[in-house]
Amino acid sequence: MLRVTLALAAIVALCASATASAQDRLPGEIDPPPAVATTSGDASLLSGRTNGTGEVMIAGAAGWPWIWAQVDIAFDPAFNLGIRASLLYGSPFMAFEPGVGGEASLPMRFHVYGEDRLDLAIFATPAAVFGEAATTGQGGTAASGEFGWGLRLEGGLLAGYQALDRVTLILGAGGHLGMVNTPSASDFNLVGAAFLRAGVEGLISRDTLLFVLADGGVGFSPTRTGGPLFRESFPPVFRISLGVGYLL
């Protein structure tokens, strides 16, 4: 008799809980769809696999055309936000022109798909560049050492495939649109680029990963009096980063 009473009490409690939950919703309101889960809990900084809610990663890298440091914050698995500061010794827009400057950017990843070992995310990165005008297209001109600045917005699709335990392959495609300006030369221009992205992340412990990431493609530079910006109408795009990340 005691068991029957306890079973009935449990059923009543469950029904009451469900009724209360339904009453909390407004008429016509439905439950939100569940978030798309990532395929693995392994940390990732640059692939299509985002980190879990509340996780924070710090990272640093060197390569061309920069040295950078980043803090990456996972607000939830669907959205990770990075805050990156870079020291430039070349242009992050395009071409291989040397020049000194700085860049501040916000690399963002929006997770959209996770199945088996594959994760997909949309990436978007607004960035601001300032420094020698050689970094904003004035290489080889009298204004190359003057002050220049630029803005760009990158975006595209990013995949992360866990080929082995602790090893994630990165593939992506995207582009950027931007503007560059050299005030002393009264030279304001719009630029663009398209690129492919590839890399690999390897976990050496639960919280530490090593990575290499490269972008390669072509830029689109306007022709103006005195020749095209960045020396060519279609200068190459090449950027590479080798670094380490640590999950706090």
- For the residues of 15-65, what is the DSSP string, one character each? HHHHHHHHHHSPTT--PPPPPPPPS--S--SSSS-PPPTT-EEEEEEEEES
Is the pLDDT at 151 greater than 60? The verdict is yes
Is the pLDDT at 133 greater than 90? The verdict is yes
Is 194 in a helix, a strand, or coil? strand
Please write the tens of the pLDDT for every residue from 79-128: 999 999 999 999 999 999 899 999 999 999 999 999 889 999 999 999 99
- The one-letter code for the residue type at 104 is A
**Whole-prediction pTM value?**
0.81
State the average pLDDT for the chain.
Answer: 86
pLDDT at position 28: 53
* φ and ψ of 234, to 5 deg: -130, 70
Query: What's the CATH number where 160 sits?
Result: 2.40.128
pLDDT at position 232: 85
Residue 237 is part of which domain span?
2-247
CB 198 within 8 A of CB 212: no
Number of domains the chain is built from = 1
Candidate from 44-58, 63-77, 217-231 with smallest mean pLDDT: 217-231
* Local confidence band at 39 (pLDDT 50, 70, 90 cut-offs): low
pLDDT at position 21: 43
Beta-carbon contacts of 84 under 8 Å, excluding residues fewer than 6 positions away, are 68, 69, 70, 103, 104, 105, 106, 107
Of 94, 84, 64, 123, nearest to 189 (Cα)? 94
Is the pLDDT at 8 greater than 80? The verdict is no
* Local confidence band at 5 (pLDDT 50, 70, 90 cut-offs): very low
